[in-house]
Amino acid sequence: MINQDKRAVDLVVISDVHLGTYGCRAKELLNYLKSIDPKTLILNGDIVDIWQFSKKYFPKSHMKVVRYILKLSNRGTDIYYITGNHDELLRKFADMNFGNIKLVNKVMMDINGKKTLFFHGDVFDFSIQHAKWLAKLGGKCYDLLILLNTFVNFCSEKFGGKRLSLSKQIKNSVKSAISFINDFETASVNYGISQKCETVVCGHIHQPSIKNLEIEGKNIQYLNSGDWVENLTSLEFHNNDWTLYQHTDNQQMDETDDEEIGITELLREFNIQKN
* Each residue's pLDDT tens digit, 119-133: 999 887 554 444 444
- Domain membership of residue 130 (yes or no) is yes
pLDDT bucket at 175, cuts 50 / 70 / 90:
very low
- Domain membership flag for residue 2: no
Q: Which domain holds residue 138?
A: 7-269
Question: Is 146 part of a structural domain of the chain?
Answer: yes
Q: What is the pLDDT of residue 83?
A: 95
Residue 274, in any domain of the structure: no
Domain assignment present for residue 1? The answer is no
Residues whose CB falls within 8 Å of the CB of residue 53, separated by 6 or more in sequence, listed in order: 20
Residue 134 lies in a domain: yes
- Any domain includes 275: no
- pTM value is 0.77
Number of domains in the chain: 1
Give the Cβ contact number of residue 39 at 10 Å: 14
Q: Which residues pair with 221 in a beta bridge?
A: 199, 212
pLDDT at 171: 53
Give per-residue pLDDT as tens, 90-100.
Answer: 988 888 888 89
- Domain membership of residue 41 (yes or no) is yes
E strands present in 33-191: 36-44, 78-82, 96-98, 101-104, 107-111, 114-118
Q: Domain with 137 in it: what CATH number?
A: 3.60.21.10
Distance CA(114)–CA(106), nearest Å, equals: 16
